[in-house]
Amino acid sequence: YFIDSSTSDLMKYNFSAGGPSAVDGGGITATAVSGVADYDGDGQKDIVYLDGSQTVSWWNGTQTQSTGKSVAGENNFQYWIGGTAGPEVEKYEDGTWTDLSGKNNAPTNSIYSGTETRSGYFLGGGGGEVTKWDGSFTELTGGPANQVRSLSSNKTHLLATAGTSVYTYSLQSGTWTDHGGVESGPSIYSSAHSYGSDQVGDYWLVGHGRTGGDPKARVSKFDGTGFTRINDPVFGNPVRKIGFNGTHYIGGGGGGNIGIYDGSDWSQPNTDNPITNNGKTIYSIEWGTVDGDSFWLVGGGGYLIKIQENGTVTDLGKPTGSTIYSIEYKASSEKFFIGDGSGNVLKYDSGGLTDTGNTNFGNSLRTLIYNPASAVKKIGDPSDLDNNGEVEVPIVNGNSNLALVPDSGSMNTIDSSYEKAKNSPLGTVDRTGNPSKEIIHINSNSDTLYLSDLSGNEQPVERNDGTSVTGVDQSPGISAGSISNSIPILKINGQSVLNRGGQGLKPGNWTMITATYNASTGTAELYFNSTLTESKSTGLGTVNSNSQDFKIANGKLNTSIDEVKAYNKSLSSKKIEKMFFNGSDGQFDGSYNSSTIKPQGKKSWNNIALDANISAETSLSATVYSLDSSNNTLNTENIAVSDGLNNYSISGLENSKRAKFSFDGYSTDIKDAWEIFGTDLHYEESFLVGNNTDEPFSRQHKFNISATARGADSDDQFQDCTAYYHTDRFTGYSSVENGGGTPSSLNKAFGDSETASCNATISRDLFGVSYPDYDQITFKFNFTDNDGYTKTTENRTKNLPNNQPQINNTDREVSGLDHEFNFSAVGYDRDQGSSEIQSCTVYAEDGDSNTNTIGSLNTSYGGTDQASCNATITDSPTGFSVGESIQVYAEFTDVAGATKSSSIYSETIPNHDPTVESGPKLEKASGEHAFNVSAVGSDSDSDSTEINSCTVYAEDGDGNTEIITGSGPLNQNFGTSDQASCNTSISNSITNFTVGESITVNVKFSDKHGAETQNATGTQEIPNEAPNKPTDINMSYFLSNKEDLNHLLDHTPEINWTNPDDPEGDEITVKAYTGSSPSPAQLDNQTNSSNKLTLGQNIGLNDGTTYNVSLKACDQYACSNYTTNIEFTMNEEPSINSVSLNDSSPTGNDIVDLEANITDNQDSIKWTNFTVYNKTAGTKIYNNRNGSLNEGLWNSDSFKVLAGNTYNWSLDTSDGYQTSSNTGTFSV
């Protein structure tokens, strides 16, 4: 029977007909199927199901019937709740909004947030008000003190953010917890929970601000107890809303910033969207699916956008003129509801974005909540769970409580506590053996498998180790039952080899279960009582030893358990049969509760009373032997023993002194002798050898012995008893009393009024030897009654015990130095203290069969009964080497030769990694383009020879690597005994390494066992030192006698120097820089082959200008500093600016003179010479030389000119360094 997914019709599949069909021709609507049973008790099978109204119903083959009992409960939510800033609260169901604001305890403050759980809706408001709606309003007092900006929930708690704090509310206990805030105390705005996501973990994400600094946004994880700030998100302003879709969180903040968090890092969706572009604050985010398209719907300002998980954004426009404050999704109809600041409600589904026309709200709609809590819970198989003769259906009702639904009468709610079963599948099982069954279900608060009885008592279903079964999926079904009656009986080396098989335990009866295993044949056998029920060849061989607890049923069986024994041998079937009939103590009890043989009061031996507990299917026969005082048989009679206390008339006993019984052919070893002292006195012997329970001799070489006697004459018939003993070292018996030890003592108050006991202690001290341990002691008792009759027990033997040494603890410690580890064990001896332990040996063995024995004993270790054994395991013993795994254990031996070995432990002879103690130190090498590398390594295991190589890796930034390795760079004699140094040089001679290139150097040391240090790193450029500066710079050497440095006449003057040297011997080029500034920067000339240069080559030297020249020496990589400037000035010759006659149009016989304008910007005029020639006559008519002459206008002497003649004139003037000349012609 099943439900058609498209029509919800109850269907059946007929395997004979080979096809499905609707039950009763169709029209029976079902939401869940229970199963087939005679539900109404009419003798006919019914199909039990939940109908469309969540009512338990059944179809009896001809018609449908209903119990009339709906399992929905009051928590059938599945409607919308809206909350506004009014405050207003309204419910939307079946297309209608209903105002809830007038109900008792409705919110009184503006509503800002909301969430839902299985138990109802929760609204957060101003002033810290949190209100629950589950059909009525309840204020959750004792919580936040400030406006509740956000509410979110997981399975067990609400989380509220208010002010600067986070509060949680337990849905189980109904209490609030204030967790405070994040560090520095900023305001907290938003939260969301991951609901145990495998991808991001199980925690809340809370969005908050930042106290001081930018950005203003921060996001932290909250695990229920504390906060952990995660990577700063992609927000500039506080995160106002956070959503979660099962794998990713999404956060929206002020300014329109949006980020997606995958549990480790943030990413941003497409920022080209209207919310981000317009800087709108985001108040609403919700994840959902419409037509197979899954996305977040995000509201910011009045804008609405869709964001896929991969960050793709779709603009849905600005559907409302008001801010979008709330979005909620209903999965069953793939529909979003959207609430805005004006109280409008919009819808987004497969038909797109539409206005619902619902404008009931008169205020800003701050929260919309839809609760998908389904009334359709789970239903179990119909059966007579409470053993009342009627079939019931187990269900989880709408209140998440377990209940039993009969076909008529009241529904029995089993558990009314909060949400114990949730939407749990159900199974039923008879787990405890009680008449009623139990229900298996899942506890919703912890996803734990639970077992509930019909009284509401429940407990977690546990594994064998006592841990609960958690993490159970709510969706699949639960089947509880047994496919066989088998339970594990015996495990060999972890494998279950014997099971109970088909034969079950019988309630109210004792069963002797025996499991045997024969390692030589690998055969395991299982006996119930004395019958072999299973034999199995396992092929497992020898049983492994282990230190696990020996467990009987592990507390899981509702049984009584008695007489548990474990043997170190495989019992034969005959031995098992004898044990079954004789019992574990040798008396006749076996599978029977008791067997007591006793006379009937103080009468004759003609009647014997036997008390036996015999199961109905078991028969028991007994043979009674009548014996005389010499144990000769007088008569034999067979009787059939019946269950209970019965009298048996036996002939031939009246003249006997002794009777012996054999049951089913097995004679008992105890309670087999009856002896008569006089008329009706009898003696009963029971023997006990062992430690006295009041004062066990756990530390001494001794044991207690005791025997009991029983008579029928009087309460005080026994007067004396004596214990006798001897060992193989002595002949005859000695009494304990006469032997100087603890005397035997008679206890008349033992047992009933006719019984007395004799007790003694046998100890080593009685024998006068130091260590008679393990000697076999033979002993017996003699009782005497008040008539002088005596009775001596049979001889018994027991070895005088020596408790072997025991191991208290062991320890292994790897040394921080050298190739060694320490092993220690602590032994103790319960007999005589630590002095009892005489020696210890530590056995160390590698995997190559090399064994070494070492160890030293410290008897003063710890308490008086302890001694320690200590050894150091190194690589020096024969065959041992570093890195080998050594099996090691200690063996203690006491003075009696008893030994005890510790467990075997494995430890590796250690090798400690060498370390880089210092370096690498990088220093320039003298006289070359190289730097030296040095590092110091150390190894704590041995001396410096332990380090057998070092490696230097040199790498430039272009992927070129030089590796220098081996023993070449290694100096094992460096520093202290455990140090070695690594030294080499890195230069530009290495291929592709160039001067000035930055080289990264890694140094690694290796020891002779292959262990390496971590890389030690340094960085250094391949060096170059610049040449020295030129010296002895001189320009005067090349001057003429007419020049000085302030008056140079040559426009290509020379300069010389003494050539410098280069530290690395590189070729040197001397460069001259000339310029009119104090720091000339223009290269004038250079040479690499001389010590002089001509200046003025790349720069023109102008008259009257002062210049500076400086030299520097350069190799191909760098230059020296400039030399000190030499200043020089190019001489400026006098300037004849103009020469003219004082008469511009002279005539014959006129007296004229010449006027000249002469200047010198550098010096004064030293002399002038003015000459006039009559060109026509060919005669000099005037010559005048003057000395020092001031600059400026100069007039010559007057001279007369003749008409018709032409005159030439010349003017020479000098500043003392250079002469300037000018000529001219005039006619008269």
**List of residues 6+ apart from 486 with CB closer than 8 A:** 499, 500, 501
Per-residue model confidence as pLDDT tens digits over 137-165:
899 999 998 889 899 888 678 999 988 89
> Does some domain include residue 199?
no
> 636, 657, 673: which is the final residue of a domain?
673
Most confident region among 31-35, 625-629, 1205-1209 by mean pLDDT: 1205-1209
Cα–Cα distance between 128 and 141 in angstroms, integer? 9
Cα–Cα distance between 1014 and 1021 in angstroms, integer? 23
> Does some domain include residue 832?
yes
Q: What is the pLDDT of residue 1143?
A: 85
Cα–Cα distance between 336 and 280 in angstroms, integer? 21
Residue 1145 has pLDDT above 60, yes or no: yes
Mean pLDDT of the 923-948 span:
86
Q: Are 535 and 644 part of one and the same domain? A: no
Give 1104-1128 as a DSSP string: T-EEEEEEEEE-SS-B-PPPPPEEE
Q: What is the pLDDT of residue 298?
A: 93
Mean pLDDT of the 29-52 span:
82
Mean pLDDT of the 828-849 span:
79
Q: Are 959 and 1053 part of one and the same domain? A: no
> pLDDT higher for 390 or 260?
260
Q: Are 709 and 789 part of one and the same domain? A: yes
Query: Would you call 767 helix, strand, or coil by DSSP?
Result: helix
> pLDDT higher for 771 or 984?
984
* Least confident residue range of 61-75, 245-259, 316-330, 911-925: 61-75
Cα–Cα distance between 676 and 682 in angstroms, integer? 5
Q: Are 694 and 775 part of one and the same domain? A: yes
Q: What is the pLDDT of residue 33?
A: 84
Residue 1110 has pLDDT above 60, yes or no: yes
Mean pLDDT of the 788-808 span:
73
Q: Are 1009 and 969 part of one and the same domain? A: yes
Going by pLDDT thresholds of 50, 70 and 90, the confidence category of residue 652 is low
Q: pLDDT above 70 covers what percent of the chain?
A: 77
Mean pLDDT of the 930-959 span:
86
Q: What is the pLDDT of residue 582?
A: 58
Q: What is the pLDDT of residue 417?
A: 45
CA angle, 984 as apex, 980 and 987 as ends, to 5°?
Answer: 165
> pLDDT higher for 753 or 707?
707
Mean pLDDT of the 1059-1075 span:
92
> Does some domain include residue 314?
no
Cα–Cα distance between 498 and 523 in angstroms, integer? 10
Q: In what order do the strands lie in the sheet with 249-253?
A: 239-244, 249-253, 258-261, 266-267
- For residue 639 the two structure tokens come to 């009787």
Cα–Cα distance between 1120 and 1114 in angstroms, integer? 6
Phi-psi region of 502 (alpha: psi -120 to 50; beta: other; left: phi over 0): alpha
- Contact by Cβ (8 Å): 69, 56: yes
Going by pLDDT thresholds of 50, 70 and 90, the confidence category of residue 177 is very high
Q: Are 1121 and 1172 part of one and the same domain? A: no
Per-residue model confidence as pLDDT tens digits over 87-140:
888 888 777 888 888 888 889 888 889 998 867 889 999 888 999 988 788 999
Residue 223 has pLDDT above 90, yes or no: no
Cα–Cα distance between 982 and 948 in angstroms, integer? 11
Q: How far is CA 811 from CA 521, 852, 885, in A?
A: 39, 19, 16
Q: What are phi and psi of 354, to 5 degrees?
A: -135, 160
- CB neighbour class for 439 (10 Å; exposed up to 12, middle 13-18, buried from 19): buried
- CB neighbour class for 976 (10 Å; exposed up to 12, middle 13-18, buried from 19): exposed
Cβ atoms < 10 Å from Cβ of 681 = 19
> Does some domain include residue 17?
yes
Could you say which DSSP state residue 1189 is in? B
> 55, 70, 85: which is the final residue of a domain?
70
Closest of 827, 770, 828 to residue 800, by C-alpha: 770
Per-residue model confidence as pLDDT tens digits over 193-221:
875 555 567 788 888 877 766 667 788 88
Q: Which amino acid is at 980?
A: A
Total residues found in the chain within this entry: 1228
> pLDDT higher for 51 or 286?
286
Q: What is the pLDDT of residue 196?
A: 52
> pLDDT higher for 366 or 952?
952
> 908, 937, 952: which is the final residue of a domain?
908
Per-residue model confidence as pLDDT tens digits over 421-435:
555 667 777 665 555
* Least confident residue range of 198-207, 356-365, 530-539, 1101-1110: 356-365
Most confident region among 363-372, 598-607, 619-628, 889-898 by mean pLDDT: 889-898
Q: Which amino acid is at 367?
A: T
Cα–Cα distance between 716 and 749 in angstroms, integer? 9
Domain limits for position 1121: 1031-1129
* Least confident residue range of 539-543, 630-634, 1133-1137, 1154-1158: 630-634
- Contact by Cβ (8 Å): 1049, 1217: yes
Residue 634 has pLDDT above 90, yes or no: no
Closest of 729, 731, 707 to residue 775, by C-alpha: 729
Q: Are 1217 and 1119 part of one and the same domain? A: no
Per-residue model confidence as pLDDT tens digits over 270-288:
888 888 888 888 889 999 9
- Contact by Cβ (8 Å): 748, 756: yes
Look at the block and give the residue holding tokens 């506004």: 84
Strands (E), 85-197: 89-93, 96-99, 111-117, 120-125, 130-133, 137-139, 148-153, 157-162, 165-170, 176-178, 188-193
* Least confident residue range of 81-85, 283-287, 889-893, 1170-1174: 81-85
Q: Are 516 and 562 part of one and the same domain? A: yes
Q: What is the pLDDT of residue 931?
A: 92
The residues pairing with 518 across neighbouring beta strands, listed in sequence order, are: 523
- Contact by Cβ (8 Å): 150, 161: yes
Cα–Cα distance between 995 and 1002 in angstroms, integer? 19
Per-residue model confidence as pLDDT tens digits over 657-691:
566 666 654 443 222 233 322 222 233 444 444 44
Mean pLDDT of the 762-781 span:
65
Strands (E), 271-414: 282-290, 293-300, 303-307, 313-315, 324-330, 335-340, 345-349, 352-358, 365-370, 392-396, 402-406, 412-413
Closest of 1131, 1125, 1114, 1137 to residue 1192, by C-alpha: 1137
Q: What is the pLDDT of residue 1115?
A: 92
Cβ atoms < 10 Å from Cβ of 578 = 18
Residue 740 has pLDDT above 50, yes or no: no
Mean pLDDT of the 1073-1083 span:
91
> Does some domain include residue 731?
yes
- CB neighbour class for 579 (10 Å; exposed up to 12, middle 13-18, buried from 19): buried
Q: What is the pLDDT of residue 460?
A: 78
Please report, for the domain that includes residue 966, its CATH number.
Answer: 2.60.40.10
Q: How far is CA 1085 from CA 163, 1040, 1047, 1072, 1092, in A?
A: 78, 22, 22, 5, 10
Residue 1188 has pLDDT above 60, yes or no: no
Q: What is the pLDDT of residue 154?
A: 80
Number of domain units in the chain: 9
Q: Are 924 and 990 part of one and the same domain? A: yes
Please report, for the domain that includes residue 637, its CATH number.
Answer: 2.60.40
Q: How far is CA 507 from CA 99, 484, 528, 559, 615, in A?
A: 63, 18, 14, 9, 12
Cα–Cα distance between 629 and 635 in angstroms, integer? 14
Going by pLDDT thresholds of 50, 70 and 90, the confidence category of residue 600 is very low
Cα–Cα distance between 835 and 858 in angstroms, integer? 10
Going by pLDDT thresholds of 50, 70 and 90, the confidence category of residue 839 is confident
The residues pairing with 221 across neighbouring beta strands, listed in sequence order, are: 205, 228
Closest of 1193, 1191, 1194 to residue 1159, by C-alpha: 1191
Q: Are 921 and 894 part of one and the same domain? A: no
Q: What are phi and psi of 255, to 5 degrees?
A: 80, 5
> pLDDT higher for 294 or 968?
294
Mean pLDDT of the 455-461 span:
73
Most confident region among 44-53, 256-265, 363-372 by mean pLDDT: 256-265
> Does some domain include residue 823?
yes
Residue 601 has pLDDT above 60, yes or no: no
Residue 83 has pLDDT above 90, yes or no: no
* Least confident residue range of 388-392, 959-963, 1202-1206: 388-392
Number of helices (H), then strands (E), belonging to the chain: the values are: 2, 98
Give 925-990 as a DSSP string: PTTSSEEEEEEEEE-SSSSGGGEEEEEEEEE-TTS-EEEE-SSTTEETTSSSTTEEEEEEEEETTS
Per-residue model confidence as pLDDT tens digits over 1014-1033:
888 999 999 999 999 999 99
Mean pLDDT of the 591-613 span:
43
* Least confident residue range of 150-159, 712-721, 910-919, 1126-1135: 712-721
Beta pairing class for 1154-1159 and 96-99: unpaired
> Does some domain include residue 133?
no
> Does some domain include residue 171?
no
Residue 1146 has pLDDT above 60, yes or no: yes
Q: Are 422 and 522 part of one and the same domain? A: no
Q: Are 522 and 567 part of one and the same domain? A: yes
Going by pLDDT thresholds of 50, 70 and 90, the confidence category of residue 741 is very low
**In terms of C-beta distances under 8 Å and separation of at least 24 residues, what long-range contacts does 670-678 make, across chains too?**
670/585, 670/586, 670/587, 671/587, 671/588, 671/597, 674/599, 675/629, 675/791, 677/711, 677/713, 677/785, 677/787, 677/789, 677/791, 678/713, 678/787, 678/789
Cα–Cα distance between 469 and 448 in angstroms, integer? 6
**List of residues 6+ apart from 283 with CB closer than 8 A:** 240, 241, 252, 299, 300, 323, 324, 325, 326
* Least confident residue range of 113-122, 660-669, 846-855, 985-994: 660-669
* Least confident residue range of 428-432, 828-832, 1214-1218: 428-432
